[in-house]
Amino acid sequence: MSNAGGRPRLAGVYPVFQTPFHEDESIDFDTLEAEFRWIFDQGADGIVMAMVSEVLRLSGEERRRLAEHACRLGRGRGAVIISVGAESARVAEEFARHAESVGADALMAIPPISVAVTEPELLRYYERLLRAVAIPLVVQDASGYVGRPMSIAMQARLLEEFGDRVLYKPEAAPIGPRLTELREATGGRARVFEGSGGIALVDSYRRGIVGTMPGAEIVDAIVALWRALQAGDEARIYRLSTPIASLVALQTGLDGFLAVEKYLLVRRGVFRNAIARGPVGYHLDDETRREVDRLDSLLRDAVEAAR
């Protein structure tokens, strides 16, 4: 589905892909292509390059190459959203212009995280990105694991200024109440994606989100849950959401998400290894790994039962 400007109307399930690496930590583009095929085969509506793609651990050139591959390989199968957030507005703008030039359907941006900027500075940062390109921008408050919460008023102002080109991925705690605050501050106009890995998907759906951006490792389960929510099938909703929430609850911080997600992608035969670029702040120990295996088995059963 497209909007009046011919762009795809962003809604549904958009997993953030994990970046596979060779043993020398260079990007494994062959496995990346296999990952994209697998994601779309599970019913995803698009793909996202963002935090669990390890963008903060990539060089500028690697980010551009990864964006180019994502746009090329996703073309024709679903929308592609590229994260362009950076520590300076100039660099973020360069990433934004590049992503648009290689075919991104939309951008996403976290604010700078190394300094505490004032609200007027943050507003100028996002205004600069929106003025640099013609495609939509997802404003990502990733403060659930990096950075600081952004004010609801500032986020609402961007929608007033730039209209429906502005979307949101709010991850500041408490997720549900802040999502409602954003909805009310924008008169119900805010188009919001859930970004908690699925743990808050049911509650967020009931508060009016248009989609979700989980990790890629359980995309089949998230697609099944999204469809159950759209159908209003309460029994199926909770049969799926309970093991999803339990599994995501084990993932502490960005490196916790990465460790579990890459482990599960190896378990599913999508990835050859679970290498993440270090230094990392979380390692999957044997007991956690066994619990992940148990919960994943429960989730597989729930997905099969939901079909």
Annotated binding site for pyruvate: 213
234, β-bridge pairs: none
Has residue 4 got a pLDDT over 60? no
Instruction: Give the residue-averaged pLDDT of 185-201.
Output: 96
The CATH architecture to which 12-232 belongs is Alpha-Beta Barrel (3.20)
Which of the four pLDDT bands, split at 50, 70 and 90, describes residue 115? confident
Average pLDDT, the chain: 95
Predicted confidence band of residue 7 (pLDDT cuts 50, 70, 90): low
**Could you write out the DSSP letters of every residue in 98-151?**
HHHHTT-SEEEEPPPSSS---HHHHHHHHHHHHHH-SS-EEEEE-TTTSS-PPP
Percent of the chain with pLDDT over 90: 91
Residue 269 confidence (pLDDT) above 90: yes
Predicted pLDDT of residue 278: 95
| pLDDT band, very low/low/confident/very high, at 8 (cuts 50, 70, 90) | low
Give residue-wise pLDDT tens across range 11-56: 999 999 999 999 999 999 999 999 999 999 999 999 999 999 999 9
Contact 237, 202 (CB under 8 A): yes
Name the DSSP letter for residue 306.
Answer: H
> How confident is the model at residue 1, as a pLDDT?
45
164 and 3 Cβ atoms separated by less than 8 Å: yes
Per-residue model confidence (pLDDT) at position 41: 97
Distance (Å, whole) CA 244 – CA 204:
14
> Residue ranges for the binding site?
213
Which tens digits make up the pLDDT trace of 226-258? 999 999 999 999 999 999 999 999 998 899 999
Per-residue confidence (pLDDT) for residue 9, from 0 to 100: 84
**pLDDT tens per residue, range 94-103:** 999 999 999 9
Between helix 119-132 and helix 152-162 the angle, nearest 10°, is 30
